Amino acid sequence: MINQLSLRYGCNPHQKPAGVSIADGPLPITVLNGTPGYINLLDALNAWQLVRELKQVLGLPAAASFKHVSPAGAAVATSLNETLKRIYFTGKVELSPLATAYARARGADRVSSFGDWVALSDVVDVPTAQLIRREVSDGVIAPGFEPEALAILRKKQKGSYRLVQIDPDYEAPPTEKREVFGVTFEQVRNALVPTMADLENIVTDNGALPESARRDMIVALIALKYTQSNSVCYVYDGQLIGVGAGQQSRIHCTRLAGSKADAWFLRQHPRVLDLPFRDKIGRPERDNAIDQYLLDSLSSAEEAIWQQSFTTTPKRLTEAEKRDWLAQQHGVVLGSDAFFPFRDSIDRAQQSGVSYVVQPGGSVRDDIVIAACNEYDMVMVFTGTRLFHH
């Protein structure tokens, strides 16, 4: 029985020794390959809970891409059109449902997912392993690995790629503790799992809430539960497309997440799909070049380096062209881990195709926020439950 595991170091290399342990029984994780670190396991255990709950509530395979204890992306298995397959670099892989969920999670914000930790709700199959093998990533946590998938991933990073198997039946104790500056904090674990029953309180004039929007609200709420607060996210077609995490102001969360959602939509613009990349450019370099292409401007030094990614210098999208493209988008869900104190987040969200909003409610200005949603003919749900995570 293994109830503790030594780690190379803590958050930083000078923080030694470091380790993880459990008071009663064996650790619920088994390291199958590589040597996971302190931050790796923080990401792994948070991400695992997210994908487990998505699978539990929605009944679909789920995946998450975590960086610094927040999701860069998360998704359930919904079908991919040819454009998404192209921007997610799925190539000729015959996608399984789990591989589809992973492609969506990784594709939400490919720049932020560079060097991520992956969580998967189901046993890792060969198509999913084939996609993961191509990406720059730190490791995977899953309830199991098919033998051939395990063999594929064990070859990654010259044999050092981190693979962690978790007991899918493990349940944490009802009380959790943590220590900060020698002081021990204790609280009841946040065991609440958002379900469809939490989406009954529609507070806007428009009450039309299709099943696809309900699904996306569940994706938003469960993702927010494991995102560092304050947090806001945009969800579309079963996947996160923009996350604003750890901001002190909710409008800053909304702007940050909205800019990422806009970039996700703009990646599908025909001009972006046809950028004249030079031969043999790597995926990370391509992702960074697209990210820079979508910026309003670069410094002369940045511009010179950026142009090296292309055979010819591409013509940038104008602000009018961006607005026209983004204006076609609709049906997006905006989720928030706490109430919106002002209407400013609603005004920003409508610029990114938001049609549905889910939040706890409870602000003294709820009436103003509801009125803003009514102006845009949005549907808003109050759950009554805050989902802060620190």
For residues 149 and 129, what is the distance between their CA atoms, to the nearest angstrom? 5
Exposure letters 253-287 (e unless 16+ CB within 10 A, then b)? bbbbbbebbbbbbbbebeebeebeeeeeeeeeebb
For residues 205 and 207, what is the distance between their CA atoms, to the nearest angstrom? 6
Enzyme catalytic residues: 67-68, 230, 390
Percentages (nearest 5) of helix, strand, coil residues in the chain: 35, 20, 40
Pairing of strands 62-67, 354-359: unpaired
Rg (CA), the chain: 21
Q: Where are the beta strands (DSSP E) in 77-115?
A: none
Q: CA dist 18 to 7, 10, 177, 185, Å?
A: 5, 5, 17, 20
DSSP 387: -
For residues 383 and 366, what is the distance between their CA atoms, to the nearest angstrom? 13
- Find where tokens 């039309």 sit: 208
Q: CA dist 47 to 6, 64, 70, 242, Å?
A: 21, 6, 8, 17
* Cα angle 193-230-107, degrees, rounded to a multiple of 5: 75
Cβ contact 339:363 at 8 Å = yes
Peptide bond into 206 cis (omega under 30): no
Q: CA dist 24 to 3, 12, 41, 212, Å?
A: 8, 28, 19, 42
Residue 294 makes CB contacts below 8 A (sequence gap 6+) with 263, 266, 267, 272, 317, 322
For residues 385 and 365, what is the distance between their CA atoms, to the nearest angstrom? 17
